[in-house]
Chains A and B, each alone.
Chain A
Amino acid sequence: MNKRPATARKLGLLSCHDCYLLVEAPPAHDHCRCPRCGAALHQRKPNSLHRTWALVCAAIILYIPANVLPITITSALGTRQADTILSGVIYFMKSGSWEIAAVIFIASVFVPFAKLVLLVFMLLSVHFRSAWRPRDRTALYRLTEMVGRWSMVDIYVVTILVALVKLGAVATIEAGPAAVYFAAVVVITMFAAESFDPRLIWDVIEEDI
């Protein structure tokens, strides 16, 4: 029992989420504020697991229409062409710009998918009180939080295309329905990563010692 490391929780301290001031936890579980910055104090992010699960499930559901429906609809000289995220990647590969194909594939397909898989993995590992490599799982969490924003790149490409290609009768590009679903996936997974509390990974290990 005395092998437990000295954490803020063990010593009855709260670390402010905004300014990292250490504060003595009040005896009752009432709502209190950080004396230095005024932020509400919590020992852990409130409802972290439930919130993250809910957001991850929502993102998984929305991930499907985001990849199946068209993200852009190009009309040129009377023909209409609908492109999904993947058909855009294939188009770039065929036309020889494989770097762009790689950027879009990584940012739009791989990163959101990997992020969801990693979040589910971290949630399950906390749920089953895993003691497996907590340091690496914490590092994975930091990575998940960092790379999510880059998925927005496809949304921006669509925005720029829509703005530029408005040549009246010659060609126009419209945003397809997948753009909305895809943006929702990116935003929701960002919220999910933020609502997960990596300290839970360590909490379950300490409780089991």
Chain B
Amino acid sequence: MAFSRILQILCATAADSRPLPEKKPAAAPLGTGRPNVVACHDCDLLNRLPAGTGATLVCARCGAVLRKHRTNSIDRSLALALAALIFFIVSNSFPFLAMKSGGFIQETTLLTGVRELWEQELYGLSSLVLLTCVLVPLAQITGLLYILAPLKWAAGPAPHAVRVFRLVQEVAPWGMMEVFMLGILVALVKLGKMATIIPGISVFSFGVLIFVMAAAFSSLDPPLLWDRLDLRR
């Protein structure tokens, strides 16, 4: 499901540059008639949006969180996404962990494990680690910057910003940097008994990156963004 939808979004982006509303006019939007109603994504119940902006909307039937208000959403997410990009670059350019045992020092970067798995002919595993720890986070960060920067500094949204945002939402479950961090802790304990492990700059920067990314996404306000990026404008 997720994979096919990511493919769909990508193909659509590559194949046509025409605006979508002209192509498929079949669906009539409800925007004008009932702009203050939203359907719950978990149980389909229609919920009325609160009049004020400061409130959180929770589905009356199943308890799903439907709306959460964020102040200064675009500025904050943009600043955090920029910070995330810097930490991402640092995490990928400095040594990650080094192991000292006897006279040997084995130094690694974030990508060493990916390369080692590839050399052991475990291509799928290697790609999975590369995807979840490097490519998806990178796509999320650059995607956010691509969407937010023009909204902040230019007059209107960037071309294809809507598809980029859909893609960013679609790949989100596959970014697993925090799980990787837990993996590092486990590996440290496991190897701590037979060798000295020296954490590099990358590990710390990676740790910060996880928090900055989480903050960037939690300060994001999707309903506001969808409104600003609306294809009908």
Contacts and interface: CB of A to CB of B under 8 A. Distances in A.
Interface of A: 5-9, 11, 13-15, 17-26, 30, 32-41, 45, 51, 92, 95, 97, 100, 103-104, 107, 134-135, 138-139, 141-142, 145, 149-150, 152-157, 159-168, 170-171, 174-175, 179-180, 183, 187, 190-191, 194-195, 198-199, 201-203
Q: Which 7 A-B pairs have the closest CB atoms?
A: A156-B183, A163-B113, A159-B113, A15-B39, A8-B39, A163-B112, A160-B187
The listed residue with most B CB atoms (<10 A of its CB), out of A11, A30, A164, A170, is: A164
Contacts of A135: 61-63
B226 A21 contact: yes
Contact of A8 (B46, B189, B232): B46
Given A18-B166, A22-B37, 10 more contacts: A20-B41, A24-B27, A24-B28, A26-B27, A34-B27, A155-B183, A157-B183, A160-B97, A164-B187, A166-B116
A165 to B, nearest CB: 7
Given A41-B27, A135-B61, A202-B44, A165 B191 contact: yes
Contact of B45 (A6, A100, A141, A168): A6
B83 interface: no
B1 A45 contact: yes
Contacts of B21: 35
Contacts, number: 238
Given A160-B187, A166-B116, A167-B104, A23 B27 contact: yes
A33 B22 CA distance: 11
A174 B64 contact: no
B179 A153 contact: yes
Contacts of B223: 20
Contact of A174 (B120, B187, B231, B232): B120
A139 B26 CA distance: 35
Interface string B89-133: 000000001010110101010001111110010101100110011
Contact of A156 (B42, B104, B120, B129): B129
Residue among B64, B173, B222 having the largest count of chain A Cβ atoms under 10 Å = B173
Given A36-B29, A163-B113, A170-B102, A203 B184 contact: no
Contact of B132 (A33, A138, A152, A167): A152
Given A32-B26, A135-B61, A202-B44, A162 B38 contact: no
13 contacts: A18-B166, A32-B26, A35-B21, A36-B231, A37-B231, A100-B186, A135-B62, A156-B133, A163-B112, A164-B106, A166-B106, A183-B124, A194-B1
A9 to B, nearest CB: 6
B86 interface: no
Contacts of B101: 167, 170
Given A37-B231, A104-B186, A198-B43, A191 B1 contact: yes
B42 A141 contact: yes
B44 A170 contact: no
Interface in B199-233: 222-223, 226, 229-232
